[in-house]
Amino acid sequence: MHRYDPAEHSYKDIYRLMIGAVVPRPIAFVSSEDKHGVRNLAPFSYFTACSTNPPVVCFCVAVRAGETPHKDTLRNIRETGEFVVNIVTEEIVMPMNATSAEVGPEVDEFVLAGLTPVASELIRPARVAESPFQMECRLRQVVEVSPLPGGGNLVLGEVVLFHIREDLLEDGKIDPDKLRAVGRMGGPTYVRTRDRFDLARPK
């Protein structure tokens, strides 16, 4: 086995290594608003669900090197305590990617990406109409994992309302062939969720 001591590598090298091995990662397409109501959208693949009672999802916003270490998403969520996580599907990978451009906080990324904002019911940030699975979230906690460049702030949000496209649901379960979720691998590579197998758990 190749021995790789992180203490001997830059965080950029470690990032390349980790995103190639921790795969595939689902993508949270996060909609937020600043305190003046300017909309923001951005994808985050350091993302998972971490509780079902109550339902809680979490994603990690990286700390940038340089003048503006904190991304708009984190600033907005800290200001308002609200956000929407939209699941990324094959149909919306192009606009999702467009919103990952580093643009100023004044830019409405729904407009930038040509996506349709639809009003949430319980919170202010809009949902992405083109996503078939949307979660309205209230902030529970921000955990500062590391303040260093390449470090991150883990955002935990309680899902206060799910919106699910009607045809996805069968017996309370999601049909993955209808959801067509995508995941992120290393570099610019993504995966579809079409090649699957079932495995029963041991009794």
Closest CA to 92 of 46, 134, 132: 132
Query: Hey, which residues between 112 and 131 contact ligand FMN (CB under 6 A)?
Result: none
155 in contact with ligand FMN (CB under 6 A): no
60 in contact with ligand FMN (CB under 6 A): yes
Cα-Cα-Cα-Cα dihedral of 91, 93, 99, 100, to 10°? 170
For ligand FMN, the closer of residues 82 and 172 by Cβ is 82
For ligand FMN, the closer of residues 47 and 123 by Cβ is 47
Closest CA to 14 of 143, 145, 146, 150: 150
Stretch touching ligand FMN by CB under 6 A, among 70-78, 122-130, 165-173, 192-200: 70-78
Judge residue 160's burial from the number of C-beta atoms within 10 Å of its C-beta, 0-12 exposed, 13-18 middle, 19 or more buried: middle
97 in contact with ligand FMN (CB under 6 A): yes
CA-CA distance, 169 to 157, in Å (whole number)? 23
Site residue total, ligand FMN (CB under 6 A):
17
39 in contact with ligand FMN (CB under 6 A): no
29 in contact with ligand FMN (CB under 6 A): no
**Binding test (CB under 6 A) with ligand FMN, winner from 31, 33, 39, 73:** 73
CA-CA distance, 110 to 96, in Å (whole number)? 10
Q: How far is the CB of 17 from ligand FMN (least distance, A)?
A: 15
The SS3 call for residue 5 is coil
180 in contact with ligand FMN (CB under 6 A): no
User: Which DSSP state fits 181?
Assistant: B
184 in contact with ligand FMN (CB under 6 A): yes
Q: Which residue has the tokens 């979720």?
A: 181
CB 188 within 8 A of CB 20: no
**Binding test (CB under 6 A) with ligand FMN, winner from 62, 84, 85, 137:** 62
46 in contact with ligand FMN (CB under 6 A): yes
Positions that interact with ligand FMN (CB under 6 A): 27, 40, 42-46, 60-62, 71-73, 97, 100, 102, 184
